[in-house]
Amino acid sequence: MSTMRKIKLGKPAVRLAAKLLLILVLLTGCASGRGDTTFRDDNMDFGSVKTVAIVPFQNLTRESTAGDRVRDVLTTSLLATGGVYVVPAGEVLRGMQRAAISVANSPSTEEVVKLGGFVKAEAVVTGVIKEYGEVRSGSSVANAISVSVQMVETQTGRIIWSANTTKGGIGVTDRLFGGGGEPMNKITQKAVDEIINQLFP
């Protein structure tokens, strides 16, 4: 007659099992909260876009330099692809003045067409910074960025591509063990890389 032995778990084993269950729940919650989206005009020949102008980004955050920082990283990263030429910021500013653009970070369709003519660009890139810098949850703190970018064709003024992404934030390890997450410049580069990968799939 066989007897079944009961396995008794000590307190350390129970705590470990509870932590593993908590990690699983947090991972599930974090994974469902982020959905990066992209729009790409299938009728557009993106190979014809050789030069782009990036206007100042709209900044909805408390960090006053967030728009300039992201715009600078995007400019450098786009140039690094070798796929497009980015008009220097000074030339874009002069073109915006000549086109009499009233709201620098949100030009109208007509203003985009005018700007494209002045700076000789096939497309104008606009963007919105929705989150940039430290985020808090309880005692946990980490850096995060949320940005959306649009590309507008200067010949017609229509949106031909749009993407958004969110990077950083408070992860599972930050919640469990503390820590401040990744540096802001690294998170910004990751967000820009993601956007460019959506432009050049």
CATH code of the domain containing 124: 3.40.50.10610
Q: Which of 77-81, 119-123, 158-162, 177-181 has the lowest mean pLDDT?
A: 177-181
Task: Decide: 87 and 51 in contact? Cβ < 8 Å.
Answer: yes
**For residue 177, is it within any domain?**
no
Domain-embedded: residue 20: no
Please indicate, yes or no, if residue 52 is contained in any of the structural domains.
yes
Most confident residue range from 20-29, 84-93, 140-149: 84-93
Lowest mean pLDDT among 20-24, 79-83, 126-130: 20-24
pLDDT 10s digits, 124-172: 999 999 999 988 777 678 899 999 999 999 999 999 999 999 999 876 5
Total count of domains within the chain: 1
Please report whether residue 18 resides in a domain. Answer: no
CA 137 to each of CA 7, 22, 171, 182: distance values in angstroms, whole numbers, following the listed order: 38, 16, 10, 16
2 in any annotated domain: no
| Residue-level pLDDT at 174 | 53
Find the DSSP H helices in the chain: 11-32, 66-81, 89-98, 109-119, 172-177, 184-199
Q: Tokens at residue 140, please?
A: 């946990």
Map residue 123 onto helix, strand or coil: strand
Question: Tokens at residue 63, please?
Answer: 């960090």
pLDDT of residue 35: 43
* Residue at 142 is within a domain: no
Decide if 47 is inside a domain: yes
- Structural domain that includes position 60: 36-130+148-164+189-199
58 domain residue, yes or no: yes
Yes or no: say if 62 and 130 are a contact pair by the CB < 8 Å rule.
no
What does DSSP assign to residue 44? -
- Per the model's pLDDT, the better-predicted residue between 4 and 119 turns out to be 119
